[in-house]
Amino acid sequence: MSQSNLEARLIAIRRHLHQYPELSTEEFETTKSIEAWLRKEGIDIRATSLKTGVFADIKGKNPGPTIAIRADIDALPIEEKTNLPFASKVKGKMHACGHDFHTAAVIGAAYLLKKHQRELNGTIRLLFQPAEESGGGADKVIKEGQLEDVDVVIGLHNKPDLPVGTVGLKSGPLMAAVDRFQVVIRGKGAHAALPHNGKDPIVASAQLITALQTIVSRNVSPFQSAVISVTKIEGGSTWNVIPDNVTIDGTIRTFDSVVREEVKERFYQVVENVAATYSQESIIRWFTGPPPLINDVNVTEIARRSARNLSLQVIDPEPSTAGEDFSYYLQKIPGTFAFFGTNGNEDWHHPAFTVDESAIIKAAYFLYKSAKNLLVEYNQSG
């Protein structure tokens, strides 16, 4: 298959996936399609107990290390507004984060690796992971055993603000840990004209929202980084009644595990103390998300060399406060996660999000070359 034919095939795959997006844990037809595309090239599918997701191996002529390449396959509950001729045909669902791009790129890398299978000393494992957007997919893949015997894992994410042909590779922290919180402030309702007869949770919540910002400004070192965002406030039902309760939702992002725990501890202290100051009760619900994504130094350097060999422009990207459950893999084994330029018009999770499809073939070759070079390096060092 020529490079131009491969590119056309990968674009067709991406467009098919884009038209039929499926949400986290619902990727049933996506799973069937990926399996069919891999089987057509003679790639061996691995058994799995997971209801969605595809895992496969390409074994070289000789034994050796195992390098995993990961793509996420789920979409988002967003109504598409791109006006593309291959726009989503499923109402209220869209590949607004480019997982269709990632999947097509890894399939392309798989085709190239299969073509050169006899040159490989080791195994390439393909991880088409479900449920990245819900945050639990990678953890399920690990618990199911798909990472067993894997020595290194690599992956990428499209980056709309980078031009096509640019790859961002950074050792150390690249993406943030993601935690979600919900706080209920329980006061006592009263008539708005008689606030002294109640315990106003709205006033207490207003003070709490302000106080939470001091955690970053006064408890986190200026040489570290953290974000606390309150994103939802719910309380009251009419204009002249003070409610009993107010609920506050939000998120915390950090790049360091120690800072993550310190911020959480301080968060609880601030919430409980502010509530007590206003003679109210607080209930905190904490939802732990993916850890910080920390790239391995050696693996990242090998990926850099691979990218340069392909004449891609390599940059040191600015870390993103977005989260990515690829970080669970990196807690288990070394690896690297790249940002790949797609010259998009809007950022992730926007209803008009698009990618420049000329980046797909470049991403496929980048993953192919990186995986091959990693096999060589780990054979020599192992």
Q: Give me the residue label for tokens 């097509």.
A: 104
pTM of the model: 0.94
Q: State how far the Cα of 341 lies from the Cα of 195, in Å rounded to an integer.
A: 56
List b or e across 112-129, with b for residues whose CB sees 16 or more CB atoms inside 10 angstroms.
bbbeeeeebebbbbbbbb
The token pair at 176 is 């943030």
φ and ψ of 86, to 5 deg: -115, 35
Q: State how far the Cα of 150 lies from the Cα of 157, in Å rounded to an integer.
A: 21
One DSSP character per residue, 131-150 reads -TTTT-HHHHHHHTTTTTT-
Domain ranges, ordered by start, for the chain: 3-174+292-381, 177-288
For domain 177-288, the question of CATH label 3.30.70.360 is answered with yes
The answer to whether the beta carbons of residues 247 and 235 sit under 8 Å apart is: yes
| Residue-level pLDDT at 382 | 59
The answer to whether the beta carbons of residues 363 and 340 sit under 8 Å apart is: yes
Q: Is 16 annotated as a binding residue?
A: no
Q: Is 191 annotated as a binding residue?
A: no
The token pair at 162 is 């980078």
| Residue-level pLDDT at 136 | 86
Nearest of 288, 292, 291, 282 to residue 211 by alpha carbon: 282
The token pair at 56 is 């496969």
Topology agreement, domain 3-174+292-381 and domain 177-288: no
| Residue-level pLDDT at 144 | 96
> pLDDT means per 10 residues in the chain (382 residues)?
92 98 98 98 98 98 96 98 98 98 98 97 98 93 97 98 98 97 98 97 98 96 95 98 98 97 98 98 97 98 98 97 97 98 96 98 98 94 65
| Residue-level pLDDT at 380 | 79
Q: Is 99 annotated as a binding residue?
A: yes
Q: Which fold has domain 3-174+292-381?
A: Aminopeptidase (3.40.630)
C-alpha angle 344/136/172, rounded to 5°? 60
